[in-house]
Chains A and B, each alone.
Chain A
Amino acid sequence: MTYAILQRLAQMLFVMFGISLLVFLIFFGTPGVDPAARIAGRNASPEVLEAVRHSFGFDQPFYVQYLTMMKKIFVTGDLTSFVNRGWKVVPAVLDTIPVTLSLVFGAAVLWVVFSLIIGVVAAAFRDRWPDKLLMILGLIGISMPVYWLGEVMNLITQSRFHDIWLFAWVPPLGYKEFGKDPEGWFLTLVIPWITLSILYIGLYGRVLRASITEALQEDYIRTARAKGLSETRILLRHALRTSLIAFVTLFGLDFGALVGGSALLTEVVFGLQGVGKLTFDALQNLDLPVIMTTVLYASFFVVLANAVVDVVYILLDPRVRTS
């Protein structure tokens, strides 16, 4: 077991190295472009260009440049923006993390609860109309672009139907800190939570229904039926439990990916200053140091989250544990 965990951690480190190398190559090694000009931003003066070249060591060999980049982002954290002169990038990125976590955490609660209900109900009514209806609704949820759904939500709750009782409580767009204003925090996030979770409710509901239906074909279910257990008990205690393994693995991956930047579109539409919105704003200003930092921090987080999921899996699975 220890060997399996160590192997997984070694793979994690390798993937992290690979990603940092890829980011380095994309930003500094793309043929036919001057990286200094890109980092300095639009209409940079020759002095700024010279400062960028010196600061990132572009006159030195490639491996020195790579190490300089990694040191600036992870060790000293003194990477500065050249578009907003002197702005420290790493603390700015760290400041946005609570916003993204608030958004993703709430959405995750919603999607786990509702997809469990949908998956179980659809499997219980499989091939009858409640099943078909739920699966079509799920498919519609998967097929909607999340940023567009967010705009439709804004149109309904902020403009067209804001004055009716149902949406009168919706506060203007923005983020309120949990520590200062818990109620405001909750109210501003309700609509973004719903928007972000709809895709995952559809996806997980469908995945769960499929794996429960598959589990119901297994021999141990026939045994359970032969023992005279009730259908509800078979569904919830036997079929659902096996299906949760795939569900939990998927959940770990998607939660990591969302915190690591996939919530970007939702943050942009609802004006939440999270990691994704920071990246988006940097994209509009062509502020490359910010993008390098968010990309590296976010993808390292995703890789770490995936590794944690796998290690937990190793710890939980008796077949791996005993070998």
Chain B
Amino acid sequence: MNTAANISRGPWATALHRLSRDRTALVALAFFVLIVLSCLSAPIYAWWAGVDPFKSTLDAVITIDGVQHPVMELPTTGLALGYTPIGPTWRLGNYFLGADNQGRDVMARLLYGGLNSIVIASAATAFTLIFATAFGLLAGFFGGVIDMVISRILDVLWAFPVYLLAISLSIVLITQGISIGPITIESSSLALPVFIIGVIYIPYVARPVRGQVMALRQSDFVMAAIGLGAPSGRILWKDILPNVSTTLIVFIPIMMALNMLTESALSFLSIGVQPPAASWGTIIQDGQTLLYTRPAVALAPGIMIVISVLSLNVFGDGLRDALDPRSKIKLGRG
């Protein structure tokens, strides 16, 4: 009955093969990679355009088609109070998307901001997965008192509304920074949003992992390993971890998407990335006061968030179908 293909392919190769035939998922992945690459080129863009996206340049003048335009324009109508930043010029390298309230190039800030958003989302995803896996493995494998303590802590974190927990943590951490013993973290450090976002989603991953480990604990091959007297650490590492790795991989794009949304929301509330650094959320916040006059400032980063999160979600769907075709893995909400 076995055909050659069935014999030669292991589970990972089969999944990869399935994924490689899922055109929608691949296009989504390509989109996301493209966004990451363009954000990585932020310093090159700023250098090429000759702008400093972190310094206010209210008196800058740019030349378009031989005509000079000040970056901060005096209003021609109304009470003529205050300046309006220049709108989109649609010329790459020359205030493509216009300027913000401080005369900074929005396009350059958009790329730098995307870089921060992606870095924070990735680091927070890694943080969540590492701690959630550790908690899930310990609680599910050892049971008893260890399980009770870990599960109760997860219950509390789970029941705590996500944004309220994030606000509580960030108002204490971000207003003054934190110093524990020799470690001092500045209040503007990107490590703080990573930590905050990483912590709040631990239960979303730890709970399903714990459930899976509990089921694996009762399976024959783990019982056999225990019967042979294999040390617990070895069983966890060699027998159980590889079996939950599928779940963890399926979680990666979904957590990335969720974290990007959370990071942007926290930055929008001014408790994420701190100025003068940018993220897509802070640029939307900057654009709030300019919404009716220069909507591009707020629209552009939002569109970038939608494209990134959408491509991660579509890719995540494809990845789940490839790794877990009968969709045994039940993901949490979000």
B176 at the binding interface (Cβ < 8 Å):
yes
Residues of B within 8 A of A286 (CB): 171, 175
A302 at the binding interface (Cβ < 8 Å):
yes
Is there contact, CB below 8 Å, between A302 and B159? Answer: yes
A208 at the binding interface (Cβ < 8 Å):
no
A311 at the binding interface (Cβ < 8 Å):
no
CB distance from A108 to the nearest CB of B (A): 16
Bound state CA distance, A158 and B172, in angstroms? 36
Within 8 A of A (CB), among B154-197: 155-156, 159-164, 167-169, 171-173, 175-176, 178-180
Bound state CA distance, A142 and B169, in angstroms? 26
Residue from B156, B164, B167, B333 having most chain A Cβ neighbours under 10 A: B164
Is there contact, CB below 8 Å, between A306 and B175? Answer: no
Mark A118-154 against chain B: 1 for CB-CB distance below 8 A, else 0. 0000000000000000000001101111111101101
Looking at the complex, which one of B161, B179, B298 makes contact with A298 (CB distance below 8 Å)? B161
Residues of B within 8 A of A (CB-CB), count: 49
Looking at the complex, which one of B156, B298, B305 makes contact with A18 (CB distance below 8 Å)? B156
B269 at the binding interface (Cβ < 8 Å):
yes
Bound state CA distance, A23 and B156, in angstroms? 11
Is there contact, CB below 8 Å, between B156 and A27? Answer: no
B270 at the binding interface (Cβ < 8 Å):
yes
B27 at the binding interface (Cβ < 8 Å):
no
Within 8 A of B (CB), among A154-197: 154-155, 158-160
Is there contact, CB below 8 Å, between A151 and B172? Answer: no
Residues of A within 8 A of B162 (CB): 257, 262
A84 at the binding interface (Cβ < 8 Å):
no
Is there contact, CB below 8 Å, between B175 and A299? Answer: no
Looking at the complex, which one of B179, B264, B313, B333 makes contact with A250 (CB distance below 8 Å)? B333
Bound state CA distance, A265 and B310, in angstroms? 20
Is there contact, CB below 8 Å, between A257 and B302? Answer: no
Within 8 A of A (CB), among B255-295: 257, 261, 264-265, 268-271, 281, 284, 287-288, 291-292, 295
Residues of A within 8 A of B327 (CB): 210
A295 at the binding interface (Cβ < 8 Å):
yes
Bound state CA distance, A250 and B168, in angstroms? 25
B99 at the binding interface (Cβ < 8 Å):
no
Is there contact, CB below 8 Å, between B164 and A299? Answer: yes
Is there contact, CB below 8 Å, between B333 and A253? Answer: yes
A102 at the binding interface (Cβ < 8 Å):
no
Residues of A within 8 A of B171 (CB): 283, 286, 288, 291
CB distance from A271 to the nearest CB of B (A): 12
Looking at the complex, which one of B268, B291, B306 makes contact with A154 (CB distance below 8 Å)? B291
**Which residue of chain B is the closest to A284 with respect to CB atoms?**
B270
**Which residue of chain A is the closest to B308 with respect to CB atoms?**
A143
Is there contact, CB below 8 Å, between A265 and B265? Answer: yes
Residues of A within 8 A of B284 (CB): 145, 147-148, 151
Bound state CA distance, A76 and B81, in angstroms? 49
A19 at the binding interface (Cβ < 8 Å):
yes
Mark A244-271 against chain B: 1 for CB-CB distance below 8 A, else 0. 0000001001100100111011001000
Is there contact, CB below 8 Å, between B169 and A147? Answer: no
Known contacts A142-B313, A145-B264; decide if A23 and B168 are in contact (CB<8 Å).
yes
Within 8 A of A (CB), among B236-264: 257, 261, 264
B152 at the binding interface (Cβ < 8 Å):
yes
B299 at the binding interface (Cβ < 8 Å):
yes
Looking at the complex, which one of A143, A147, A203, A303 makes contact with B310 (CB distance below 8 Å)? A143
CB distance from B22 to the nearest CB of A (A): 14
B309 at the binding interface (Cβ < 8 Å):
yes
Known contacts A38-B172, A299-B159; decide if A139 and B167 are in contact (CB<8 Å).
no
Bound state CA distance, A255 and B173, in angstroms? 29
Within 8 A of A (CB), among B51-70: none
Is there contact, CB below 8 Å, between A19 and B172? Answer: no
Bound state CA distance, A143 and B253, in angstroms? 13
B314 at the binding interface (Cβ < 8 Å):
yes
A242 at the binding interface (Cβ < 8 Å):
no
Bound state CA distance, A147 and B161, in angstroms? 17
Is there contact, CB below 8 Å, between A144 and B164? Answer: no
Looking at the complex, which one of A33, A143, A152, A298 makes contact with B176 (CB distance below 8 Å)? A33
Residues of B within 8 A of A111 (CB): none
Is there contact, CB below 8 Å, between A147 and B270? Answer: no
Residues of A within 8 A of B310 (CB): 139-140, 143
Is there contact, CB below 8 Å, between B159 and A15? Answer: yes
Question: What are 15 A-B pairs with beta-carbon distances under 8 A?
Answer: A15-B155, A18-B155, A32-B178, A140-B306, A142-B309, A143-B261, A144-B306, A146-B265, A147-B265, A148-B305, A149-B302, A260-B161, A279-B167, A283-B270, A286-B175
Contacts A33-B172, A139-B314, A152-B302 aside, 8 further interface pairs with beta carbons under 8 A come to A26-B169, A32-B180, A139-B313, A143-B306, A262-B162, A283-B270, A284-B270, A295-B164
- Rank and list the top 7 A-B pairs by shortest CB-CB distance, nearest first: A18-B156, A148-B302, A143-B309, A143-B310, A159-B292, A32-B179, A261-B164
